[in-house]
Amino acid sequence: MVNKAKKQGTTYETNIVKRLNKNSNMKAQRFAEGGSNDLGDIQLFVDGVEYFIEAKSRQNLNIHQSLEKALEKSGDKNTVLFWKKLKRQSGNKRRSSDGMPEVVSMSYDLFISLLNK
């Protein structure tokens, strides 16, 4: 049987890839589990520039630590963190989005780089 958390993560990553690929100037694909060579969850090319995406779908997340870890894994400033915050709703066995359905976090350096393009 597949680990529930892994299945949830795979579903979220696949959803991100599908949405990104709807943009004509973007090409996204999920990375295979990389072990020690893991660069992130998703590889994204936008107009020839490579980005790395780490995707998290969970109730609680230390966004600062998670972004730092994602940057260390990829070794590249072009790294962003997607977070889908989940919360158990009353009377519902499944967790669903809490507040904003999704947030994307990046370093200040990447933010400035994108604004200057």
Q: What is the mean pLDDT of residues 37-64?
A: 93
pTM: 0.86
Going from N- to C-terminal start, the domains of the chain cover 4-115
**Where do we find the tokens 């893991």?**
38
Q: What is the pLDDT of residue 80?
A: 98
* Domain 4-115: CATH class, spelled out: alpha beta
Average the pLDDT over 76-81 and give the result. Answer: 96
Cβ atoms of 76 and 46 within 8 Å: the answer is no
Tokens of 14: 């696949």
| Residue 53 identity (one-letter amino acid) | I
